[in-house]
Structure 1
Amino acid sequence: MRTFEVYKNIRKRAVIFGLPISLFAVMMIAILASLLVIIFSFSFGMIIGVLIINAALYIVLTRINNNPQIFQMAKAFPRIISNKRNSGFDYEQD
């Protein structure tokens, strides 16, 4: 009889095949699009190419999931923290 491990990380976000729900949805859309390509093209090379592209997409999405700092362009914290309303004027000398 099989034994199943109890999922104790209930407070963490949901993961399917190692991807969060949003990245899993991107993967499923890519798979559906590739199935349409396979159905309407009868080339063996196209089928192999689509399989390679889907595998590469899965690898890229798992890397993005494991290292989200890759796409972070802005700084994490602002230069100045203040409750004063920002008027848009800069009075200091350059």
Structure 2
Amino acid sequence: MKQFEIYRNIRKKAVIFGLPISSFALMMICVVASLLVIIFSFSFWIIIGASFFNCVLYLILIRITKKTQLLPISGRFPELISNRKYSGFNYEQDQSI
């Protein structure tokens, strides 16, 4: 009988064309803006420039996504989430004695 591996990476970030959702949205906004520029000022050099700009932007976004050191994101979520009201008392032993 064939066995299937359990997919455990369901909680990782969603990726479209190798980009996270926010980077993909930025890319699509730039594509739509460049299409508007091409439509309202129809020129061969504008078409070449817009295509080149979109390709370079895609490569830059891919490189930023691959190198996580460029965008340090740390401490977004707490270690422990609790509904208890914080009293401010510390019940541990005092280390200074």
TM-score category, normalised to shorter length: 0.5 to 0.7
SS at match of 1:69: coil
The answer to whether 1:21 aligns with 2:13 is: no
For 2:88, the equivalent position in structure 1 comes to none
Deviating 4+ runs (over 2 angstroms): none
Note the C-alpha offset of 1:11.
2.0
Q: Which amino acid aligns with 1:53?
A: F
Q: Over alpha carbons, which structure has the higher Rg? A: 2
Higher helix share: 1
For 2:50, the equivalent position in structure 1 comes to 50
Q: Which amino acid aligns with 1:42?
A: F
For 1:10, the equivalent position in structure 2 comes to 10
Q: Which amino acid aligns with 2:31?
A: I
The CA RMSD over aligned residues, in Å, is 2.2
Structure 2 CA distance for aligned equivalents of residues 44 and 24 of structure 1: 26
SS at match of 1:13: coil
Residue ranges of structure 1 left out of the alignment (5+ in a row): 1-5, 77-94
Q: Which amino acid aligns with 2:12?
A: K
Structure 1 CA distance for aligned equivalents of residues 33 and 68 of structure 2: 26
TM-score by length of 2: 0.64
Q: Which amino acid aligns with 1:39?
A: I
TM-score by length of 1: 0.66
SS at match of 2:69: helix
Aligned residues: 69
Structure 1 CA distance for aligned equivalents of residues 71 and 54 of structure 2: 21
For 1:39, the equivalent position in structure 2 comes to 39
Q: Which amino acid aligns with 1:18?
A: G
Structure 2 CA distance for aligned equivalents of residues 29 and 42 of structure 1: 19
